[in-house]
Structure 1
């Protein structure tokens, strides 16, 4: 199961790796520093992609993972091509919802969205991602991994 870098407002589920608000040990301080830096980079990158392509704005929960990856890779590649062609001016984006809303559209064809056919599998994954003890274990494992790499 993959996971998202998150801040304190999210629940203690193994799909959300949250920072440590008041780290007391050097290991936990290093983890918090790395997690927060990575989360900021990811948020900035997705902000750029979301401002340019409406398909990145929408929910992708029901899509097949390879389809999501293809869409994100295509958006990144196109963004890089535009930046290379137009220079730094192409990286400007607006947080104004009125500017962003003008380019949005919705994909309604389930075949295009890649909706998983096995509903039981989706329900089992949904239950697995809500286990708080798994969150604690994942965070402890990541703290050790980051510490060992430094």
Structure 2
């Protein structure tokens, strides 16, 4: 199951990796720093894509995962091609804000009637809302980041 980097307003679900609001100890402080940095990078990137491509602004819960993946990849590729092609015309004044967007028009298709795999969807929904799974994932990521990056700071202090 994948997960999303989230801030404090989201619930403790298995699919959200929230920052630690008041981290105690070096491991948790390092995790909070890495999580917040990565989350902000992703938010900025999606803000740029949303300002350019209306398909990303619409709801996508009913989309198949492969469709979502291919759509995002296509938008990223198109964005990079546009940037490369128009690089010489940029004066640094492109409006990446999401303020002037018309949210009243959805560009996604929806369907009516029961979902063919309703029982599967309901089970997945219950699994996603497991707080214990959220806490375990967060704990595992704290340890992973500490093992991967935690000792770099020790070397800096030794060198000083």
TM bracket, shorter-chain basis: 0.7 to 0.9
The structure-2 alpha-carbon separation of the partners of 1:16 and 1:91, relative to structure 1 and needing over 3 Å to count, comes to farther
Matching residue of 1:142: 141
1:21 has 2:21 as partner: yes
Distance 2:93 2:143 in 1: 37
TM-align CA RMSD: 2.3
Structure 1's unaligned 5+ residue stretches are 111-115
Deviation at 1:122, TM superposition (A): 1.1
C-alpha spacing 1:119/1:90, structure 2 compared with 1 (3 Å)? farther
Structure of higher CA gyration radius: 2
What secondary structure, in the 3-state scheme, does the structure 2 residue paired with 1:100 have? Answer: coil
Contact 2:14 2:128 in 1 (8 A): yes
* Aligned 8 A contact 1:48 1:91 in 2: no
* Residue in structure 2 matched with residue 76 of structure 1 by the alignment: 76
1:5, 1:18 within 8 Å by CA — same for their partners in 2?
yes
**Aligned positions of 1:87-106 closer than 5 A:** 87=87, 88-89=90-91, 92-95=94-97, 97=99, 99-101=100-102, 105-106=106-107
Which secondary structure state, in structure 2, belongs to the residue aligned with residue 84 of structure 1? Answer: helix
Q: Relative to 1, partners in 2 of residues 1:149 and 1:96: Cα closer, same or farther, differing over 3 Å?
A: closer
TM-score of the superposed pair, with normalisation by structure 2: 0.82
State the partner residue of 2:62. 62
Structure 2 unaligned blocks of 5 or more: 150-160
The number of residues matched between the two structures is: 145
| Cα separation, partners in 2 of 1:121 and 1:146, compared to 1, 3 Å | same
Per the alignment, do residues 73 and 96 of structure 1 end up closer, same or farther by CA in structure 2, a change over 3 Å counting? closer
Whole-angstrom CA distance in 1 between matches of 2:49 and 2:93:
10
TM-score (structure 1 length as normaliser): 0.87
